Amino acid sequence: MATEPSAAPGVTARVIAAGILDAVLHRGRSLKAELASALPSVADPRDRALVEAICFAALRNRARYDAALAAWMPRPLPRRDAPLRALLHAGFAQLDPLALSAHAALAATVDAARSLGHAHQAGLVNALLRRAQRDGLPAGHADAVWPDWLRDRVRTDWPADADAIFTASASPAPTWLRVNRMRGTAERYAARLREAGLESQAVADLPDALRIDVPVSPTALPGFADGDVSVQDAAAQRVADALSPPRGARVLDACAAPGGKSAHLLERDPALRLTALDVDARRLRQVRGTFERLGVGADARLLAADATDTAAWWDGEPFEAILLDAPCSATGIVRRQPDLLLHRRPSDLAALAALQGRLLDALWPLLAPGGRLLYATCSILAQENRDQVQAFVARTPGAAIEDLPDAFGRDTGHGRQCLPGERGADGFFYALFSRGA
């Protein structure tokens, strides 16, 4: 979007951030989709990083910013001023968690109001941001951005941990890297990061992982384009350890897109006979792209199909290992997708739980005797995890749960649950089933 020649630096970034927030806050759009659409048009990587930082910070704190606007304005902004409201959220985010230079943030945000066609309200924007700078934004509990019904679910399922879950979900996530062991070790890659000015931490029981405690764009990572490294949370990296298929095994990844977990398995054992399945053909192309970048999976089968419709795609040869990373509420990754709290509805949970049950029932007969099936979600809700597994075991003769080490999280009696922020990881659930020989 064009800006006036005399506008303050960074105005375009504020305009773009406001446009993304307007779409997410007021029109039900996905943050991930909006960022993917808008960021390629931003030439300067620093501006791209700023747009992302503003959007995430504003969505994590939107309840506090709504409270400030309600308290400081004599009447709510009308619907036609939704873009201006989004810009004010962007302005508050710059002053509040991002702690940018107040002078620069105010100047650029006020000029952004003019660029958005709200020149007559530039004074209002200036006054509200100056008040935020002078008085500070109102405090608020981290659970205020959660819808009541979902907040109650979390408090019911995790009464002693709920506040820690809400706090972790409102905090930025570290950057977790997975080093491609076909291209080198985590230790050697950590040295490359140091040469690039990035400090990382190794994790004793995650041999491929490195943690960086600041946001890093993948394109800024040494060797990313050449497949030396991927960005993948620690909890997702544990999937390979949990499933741990025999060398050269026939493996199914039933909900494979975007392909990170399949790629990790192949990086560890290129001899795996892997089938990557996903119901979305467009997303399956992402799997192929992931494999090509990392130099794995040249012989993998990629199938676009509904995993529950096994008659349509299964060739009749059993799999020795099956990964079912099931569609879920994603309540364990709110810190990475803060907008899902705006989009999730109570009816979603029943539909997701029913789908998860159908997937388990459909895939279990495909498992070879002596094989293992890993059921995983990025949910923290008992309905999708403990209760789902308990019901599956009850109706499935021969399905036995194998215990996993404490590193996978707390024992629920029917699988292991990692809660958001524990050991720096996302919220994630693992249940490993074995089938008798």
pTM beyond 0.85: the answer is yes
Integer CA distances (angstroms), 322 to 255, 275, 363, in order: 10, 10, 8
> Are residue 267 and residue 410 in the same domain, yes or no?
yes
**pLDDT given at position 6:** 59
CATH number of the domain at 270, please: 3.40.50.150
β-bridge mates for residue 19, sequence order:
none
Note whether 172 and 215 are within 8 A (CB): yes
In a domain, residue 170? The reply is: no
Are 393 and 258 in the same domain?
yes
For residue 182, give its domain range. 175-231
Q: Give the number of other Cβ atoms within 10 Å of residue 367's Cβ.
A: 21
Report the pLDDT value the prediction gives residue 202, as an integer from 0 to 100: 96
Establish if 144 belongs to a structural domain.
Answer: no
Which residues are annotated binding-site positions for S-adenosyl-L-methionine? 255-261, 278, 306, 325
Out of 84, 104, 135, pick the residue that ends a domain.
135
- 262 and 181 in a single domain? The answer is no
Which CATH number is 112's domain given? 1.10.940.10
Q: What is the pLDDT of residue 2?
A: 47
Q: Which of 196, 212, 231 is the last residue of a domain?
A: 231
* Number of domains within the chain: 3
Listed residues 210, 231, 252: the one ending a domain: 231
Same domain, 16 and 89: yes
216: CATH: 3.30.70.1170
Q: Does 185 map to a domain?
A: yes
pLDDT at 70: 96
227 with 252, same domain?
A: no
- Considering the domain architecture, whether residues 93 and 216 belong to the same structural domain is answered as no
The single-letter code of the amino acid at 38 is: A
Please indicate, yes or no, if residue 153 is contained in any of the structural domains. no
Q: Are residues 282 and 367 located together in one domain of the fold?
A: yes
Q: What values do phi and psi take at 49, rounded to 5?
A: -65, -40
Residues 37 and 52 placed together within one structural domain of the fold: yes
Q: What is the pLDDT along the chain (437 residues), one digit of tens a residue?
A: 444 555 677 999 999 999 999 999 999 999 999 999 999 999 888 999 999 999 999 999 999 999 999 999 999 999 999 999 999 999 999 999 999 999 999 999 999 999 999 999 999 999 999 999 999 999 999 999 999 999 999 999 999 999 999 999 999 999 999 999 999 999 999 999 999 999 999 998 999 999 999 888 898 899 999 999 999 999 999 999 999 999 999 999 999 999 999 999 999 999 999 999 999 999 999 999 999 999 999 999 999 999 999 999 999 999 999 999 999 999 999 999 999 999 999 999 999 999 999 999 999 999 999 999 999 999 999 999 999 999 999 999 999 999 999 999 999 999 999 999 999 999 999 999 999 87
| Catalytic residue IDs | 378
- CB-based contacts of 148: which residues, under 8 Å, 6+ apart? none
Q: Is 69 contained in some domain? A: yes
Whether 187 and 308 share a structural domain: no
Same structural domain, 395 and 427: yes
- Cα–Cα dist 299/406, whole Å: 35
In a shared domain, residues 225 and 250: no
In a domain, 151, yes or no: no
In a domain, residue 169? The reply is no
Pairing mode, strands 410-411 and 416-418: antiparallel
pLDDT at site 214: 87
Distance between CA atoms of residues 109 and 125, nearest Å? 8
Task: Look up residue 147 and give its two tokens.
Answer: 């819808």
Q: What is the pLDDT of residue 9?
A: 75
Please indicate, yes or no, whether residues 356 and 272 belong to a single structural domain of this protein. Answer: yes
* Site of tokens 């739980």: 353
Contact assessment for residue 234 and residue 178, using Cβ atoms and an 8 Å cutoff:
no
Residue 6 lies in a domain: no
